[in-house]
Structure 1
């Protein structure tokens, strides 16, 4: 008999969904390790090629599926949440909407392709998404374990203690931001870099545990916003 705490609604549905996802990831894995696997150059290929720093061993098949699952799921709801807020903020800024449309025309023309190369030049869209992540970071808390005893904000922290970092609080702190609650994408322009405090912007975390998909998430968001603008008025 299952423990009482596992008796949650739709438990069987969730387990079946997890099984389907793992099967799909297994199929993806097989395409990368087959005869043509060496031709792939993506994040899945990087995970497959990874080796332990000390033992030099590779991930087992189950471990690879676990790792790919983290990348697959962690980049889904977080991106969807951030994009929802981005479109909400855009809807409140008609002037910015006009700037975005003009930038897309200048970079890709009326009907030209919008791909990876084009995203490098869509600066307004990139900055509005960065500002969205500042105001509404998808990750509420970043748990970290203290590797040594220290003092944070006048409080002693023991080695091994769990420390919770809240990006939302840091991103809206008046000590680090001008107009902290205001929506101002241009604060990320190179001309205003001096206004940015190092370490005060952490939507993807920071340090050795920074999100591995940060660059991908930004590119994905810029691409999606630009293509949606192209299709809808």
Structure 2
């Protein structure tokens, strides 16, 4: 199709440092010049450090897979989340991070993903039921997707639906916290040396403390059930009872609170972002929505039948390419490096940008086009092996990547089976990077039950 999905307008090629910082504070995506979609590498200087955005896939592979210990995660990118996440696996490096992954990873191994499927499907069906009153009026999709994704996390992690009182309180507290402290924190990027003190807004600290109290209660209650031999066999129980094979230790209660915080924050926020954009893209391209709906009608709701949702999976992959929930990852050089014949000093920030890599003109055919069919071509598969990083790669690849793919496909399939989604011509969403890639003013679509949608012109955008 001629119509490409929206992306932010790029800034002029040359701007002053202070103009760039003002643009960065508003939105990191639109603060970048258009040339980054074709550049191999770009350098950015601040008074305190140098930053290098890297699109050269050999260098990306070096950082993530070749020598990951020489490129630890930068503490700048997650600095604003420390009051909430403490020493979670999202923020740590080195031996501490390796120990955490040895305990967490077994819960998400292929065989155990089957155990999470009933919770994912139940959350999908509950979300579909909550939309039963949809009658074609405009609705904000991100809020709906966030509620469904949070339900998935609660059901698979603690075996409780989102309607549970504590789950509801955690969900609303997280939404309040996200408004106080986005992950892309300008102050973290321009602050000086690591020994300088960090300051957090009082509201950020207050909401973080409230969330941690709620998670502590969930964790303590689960430890009591484990001790009594009555705990359900869900993700929380698996992680809390897994012994690190090297140290013989399990997570302490405090450590588990840190991990639950990142499971919920990363798990529901990234999934909600991806699901929202997937629904928008299907509304924008109704011929693909028809294909997903046909597959969904034949899906019997069993784990074994997931492999037959091939079109839905390709649509979700293409969504993650165009709108990767985490648009940028930041590493730090532990020693001097030479990148593309340029000296990179120790302590420099290395920015790996799925946002730019996934739309890079040197790698992808029609990079800005929505084309799920590319995932069935040899060229598309080959490019994906080196230039597709929705879940990172190497040792720090998202431990829940497989879980997220199952969740996205199931939620999308169930929603499109029962409802028709249509775009609003007057409300085109513009992507911005907050905690994840979201729309600046939300994603608004009309939702109609299939029994009510037959008379609609499905190929024409609605008017607000």
Q: TM-score, normalised by structure 1?
A: 0.83
The alpha-carbon deviation at position 192 of structure 1 amounts to 5.1
The alpha-carbon deviation at position 6 of structure 1 amounts to 4.4
Q: Which position in structure 2 is the counterpart of 1:111? A: none
Paired with 1:33 and 1:166, the residues of 2 have a C-alpha distance of 44
Question: After superposition, what is the alpha-carbon deviation per residue over 1:198-227, rounded to whole angstroms, capped at 9, x for unaligned?
Answer: 221001000000000100011011111111
Paired with 2:293 and 2:283, the residues of 1 have a C-alpha distance of 13
| RMSD, matched Cα | 2.7
1:91-106 matches, within 5 Å, as 91-106=283-298
Q: Is residue 2:204 matched to residue 1:17?
A: no
**1:10–1:147 distance in 2 versus 1, CA, 3 Å:** closer
**Does the CA contact (< 8 Å) of 1:177 and 1:195 recur in 2?**
no
Q: Which position in structure 2 is the counterpart of 1:152? A: 339
Name which of 243, 262, 277 aligns with 1:70: 262
Paired with 1:104 and 1:228, the residues of 2 have a C-alpha distance of 9
1:54-133 matches, within 5 Å, as 54-108=246-300, 114-133=301-320
**Does the CA contact (< 8 Å) of 2:215 and 2:257 recur in 1?**
no
**Does the CA contact (< 8 Å) of 1:115 and 1:223 recur in 2?**
no
**Does the CA contact (< 8 Å) of 2:327 and 2:353 recur in 1?**
yes
Question: After superposition, what is the alpha-carbon deviation per residue over 1:120-148, rounded to whole angstroms, capped at 9, x for unaligned?
Answer: 22111111111101101111221223355
Q: Which position in structure 2 is the counterpart of 1:181? A: 368
**Does the CA contact (< 8 Å) of 1:167 and 1:202 recur in 2?**
yes
Paired with 1:51 and 1:97, the residues of 2 have a C-alpha distance of 45
Q: Is residue 2:391 matched to residue 1:199?
A: no
Question: After superposition, what is the alpha-carbon deviation per residue over 1:10-61, rounded to whole angstroms, capped at 9, x for unaligned?
Answer: 7545532332233224334444454144x72x44344234444643322212
Give the secondary structure class of the aligned counterpart of 2:254: helix
Q: Which position in structure 1 is the counterpart of 2:413? A: 226
**1:161–1:187 distance in 2 versus 1, CA, 3 Å:** same
Question: After superposition, what is the alpha-carbon deviation per residue over 1:154-176, rounded to whole angstroms, capped at 9, x for unaligned?
Answer: 43234554322111011110111
More strand by share: 2
**Does the CA contact (< 8 Å) of 2:391 and 2:397 recur in 1?**
yes
Paired with 1:9 and 1:62, the residues of 2 have a C-alpha distance of 22
**Does the CA contact (< 8 Å) of 2:296 and 2:414 recur in 1?**
no
**Does the CA contact (< 8 Å) of 1:116 and 1:223 recur in 2?**
no
Bigger drift between 163-172 and 67-76 goes to: 67-76
Paired with 2:340 and 2:311, the residues of 1 have a C-alpha distance of 36
* Number of positions where the alignment pairs a residue of Structure 1 with one of Structure 2: 224
**1:26–1:191 distance in 2 versus 1, CA, 3 Å:** farther
**1:227–1:201 distance in 2 versus 1, CA, 3 Å:** same
Paired with 2:227 and 2:259, the residues of 1 have a C-alpha distance of 15
Bigger RCO (CA 8 Å, 6+ sep): 2
